[in-house]
Amino acid sequence: MEYVDRILTCVDCGGEFVFTAGEQLFFQDKQFKNDPKRCKPCKSRRAHGGQAPAASAGPAAAGISRTETRTECSECGVSTTVPFKPTQGRPVLCRQCFKNKGSVPASSVSAMPAVPSTTPAPTPLATAPAQATHPPLGAAS
């Protein structure tokens, strides 16, 4: 079946909108029985409870609050909040300790003692030809 763009009228605002051939093919693939009733702005407004959708994404923009848990830092003991529920046996760090843990100053890296290598030095290859331990094939004994 050949699809062509159709102009439909929005039931909310009364404005006209285009129901494209691609959208019609999508509707047919999904086996939707009815044509869309609302234009994209009205559909979006209806989906967001009458509010215009927020420009930024994420849970805070959608009005969903993150779980904040109050706990003590495992390093310095200061009271802090974290955006997750800590599990037992794993350290929880405040923002400052977390930043300090992630970065190692360059001066402390250069001041570290050299660790001796545990791999043995390569042995030189033998230069003498290998001696045969068996007589050549077909030789008389």
Question: Nearest-CA neighbor of 37 among 16, 15, 11, 5?
Answer: 11
Residue 103 tokens read as: 């970065």
Task: Give first-to-last CA distance, the chain, whole Å.
Answer: 92
Q: Which of 2-6, 43-47, 84-88 has the lowest mean pLDDT?
A: 84-88
The segment with the largest mean pLDDT, out of 3-17, 54-68, 101-115, is: 3-17
CA atoms 30, 35, 37, 41: torsion sign: positive
The per-residue pLDDT for 2 is 84
State the burial class of residue 3 (Cβ atoms within 10 Å of its Cβ: 0-12, 13-18, 19+).
middle
Q: Quick one: average pLDDT of 107-118? A: 53
What are the pLDDT digits (tens) for 17-60? Answer: 999 999 999 999 999 999 999 999 999 988 887 665 555 555 55
pLDDT band at 113 (very low <50, low <70, confident <90, very high): low
Q: Does the model's pTM come out above 0.75? A: no
Query: Which residue matches tokens 């050549």?
Result: 136
Q: How far is CA 59 from CA 44, 56, 63, 64, in A?
A: 17, 10, 6, 5
Q: Where are the domains of the chain?
A: 6-47, 69-102
Per 3-state DSSP, what percentage of the chain is helix, strand, and coil (rounded to 5)? 20, 10, 65
The continuous run of DSSP H or E covering 72 comes out as strand 69-72
Return d(Cα 80, Cα 87) in angstroms, integer: 15
